[in-house]
Amino acid sequence: MYKKGIYAKYNEKEYKIIKKDDSITLISNDPLDMKAGFEVYKDGILTKNVSKEELSNPCKIKTFGRYKGYDLIINGEYNGEYLLGADSKAANELDFPMTDKYFYEKWVPKNEVKLIEERKEIEL
């Protein structure tokens, strides 16, 4: 599983967060988090509302997939594969089919992709 979006630590564990106005919601897929007050939202997704004072190390995370020497956009994850996106130069060398004008994508097995996280500290 790769990370994309805004994250922060709550009780020393990192969670994806959704911030709307002054409201902050933690997102989890770990059933053990129900012991920490998370509630079922739907389909295995758990949520918990917290204040920003309860959080530490807020950051924005982008994850790229390094595949055959190229750092590519990850556009999806399913059934042991990542959907990687590339520009025309990388696509020509990697044999990615065109999926939109000037954009190319291909499903690649996860074991062939190294995840590279880019973190940027932010204020909440």
Q: State the total domains in the chain.
A: 2
Could you tell me if 107 and 81 lie in one domain?
yes
Q: Are residues 70 and 88 in the same domain?
A: yes
Cα separation, 54 vs 14, whole angstroms: 12
**pTM over the 0.75 mark:** yes
Digit-coded pLDDT (tens) for 53-85: 999 999 999 999 999 999 999 999 999 999 999
Model confidence pLDDT, tens digit, residues 107-120: 999 999 999 999 99
Q: How do beta strands 39-42 and 23-28 pair?
A: unpaired
Q: Provide the residue range defining the domain that includes 20.
A: 5-60
Q: Are residues 55 and 66 in the same domain?
A: no
Shared domain check, 56 and 31: yes
Note the pLDDT of residue 124: 85
- Burial of residue 25 (CB within 10 Å: 0-12, 13-18, 19+) is middle
Cα–Cα distance for residue pair 35/65, rounded to 1 Å: 34
Same domain for 67 and 40 = no
**CB under 8 Å to 96, separation ≥6 — which residues?**
84, 86, 90, 104, 105, 106
| Together in a domain, 47 and 79 | no
